[in-house]
Amino acid sequence: MSKVAIVTGASKGIGAAIALQLAQEGYHLVINYNGNQQRAEAVKVLCEKFQTAIVVQANVAKSEEAKRLCDTAMETFGQIDVLVNNAGITKDNLILRMSESDFDDVLSTNLKGTFLMCKSVSKIMMKQRSGSIINISSVVGISGNAGQANYAASKAGIIGLTKSLAKEFASRNIRVNVVAPGFIQSDMTDKLDQEVIASLRAQIPMKRLGDPKDVANTVSFLVSEQSSYLTGQVICVDGGMVM
């Protein structure tokens, strides 16, 4: 039996690239999305060129939906070897203009969603005595960013959560690591003004935006046997932006 991977927020962008990469490497895929069924189904078609794939709608910020996502993966494939917590949103504003609900929404999806998914798969992976969890943070979780207090707090929280779980799970042969992308071309960054994009590009030593594939390649390494002695680490994929 091939290994099984769940990728949250895999209907587009970085999540879609990770799902496709893992399918190419022989993983059966559980492609999660929240609102964009059409794009999730298109990712499924691409993944199915290589392996079996299913699409599951679930809002990872809701405990019953996160649990249903894991239950569906188990009912379909009977095991979960890899979980990539990629689902994420932004609701940017300076703190004086940031509403409490914009803070709560970003923390709920990005941080609580990651917690709920880790909790749901942990029982299964502990029983299997194997597994690999990758949590997608961001370089702004390390450096902070004006106008992204909610997002940076959620992404910094993911790093603390990951390191704690790495310590809890290490003896069970479950590794937990963070990938912290820098500035990657996707719908999330397409929302920014051209001026902001130009000034961000200027801050990147490699002078270019990353591609979702750059993140997918790092995830691929972190779930592979080649990184079998690596846990609790934060790998920045950012063209040298944060060192």
Least distance in Å: CB of 51 to ligand NAP?
Answer: 20
Give the residue among 71, 204, 88, 210 at the shortest CA–CA distance from 153.
88
Q: How many residues bind ligand NAP (CB under 6 A)?
A: 31
Does position 117 interact with ligand NAP (CB under 6 A)? The reply is: no
Q: What is the CA radius of gyration of the chain?
A: 17
CA angle 46/9/139 to nearest 5° reads 115
Of the residues 120, 122, 138, 218, which one makes contact with ligand NAP according to CB under 6 A: 138
Give the residue among 209, 148, 149 at the shortest CA–CA distance from 181.
209
Sequence-distant (6+) residues with CB within 8 A of 7 are 15, 18, 19, 22, 29, 30, 31, 32, 84, 86
In the structure encoding, which two tokens stand for residue 161, read together?
């959560």
Does position 157 interact with ligand NAP (CB under 6 A)? The reply is: no
Candidate segments 12-20, 73-81, 92-100, 115-123, binder of ligand NAP by CB under 6 A = 12-20
Does position 9 interact with ligand NAP (CB under 6 A)? The reply is: yes
Of residues 159-198, those binding ligand NAP (CB under 6 A): 181, 183-184, 186-189
Of the residues 59, 128, 227, 233, which one makes contact with ligand NAP according to CB under 6 A: 59
Chain positions contacting ligand NAP, by CB under 6 A = 8-15, 32-36, 59-61, 86-89, 109, 113, 136, 138, 181, 183-184, 186-189
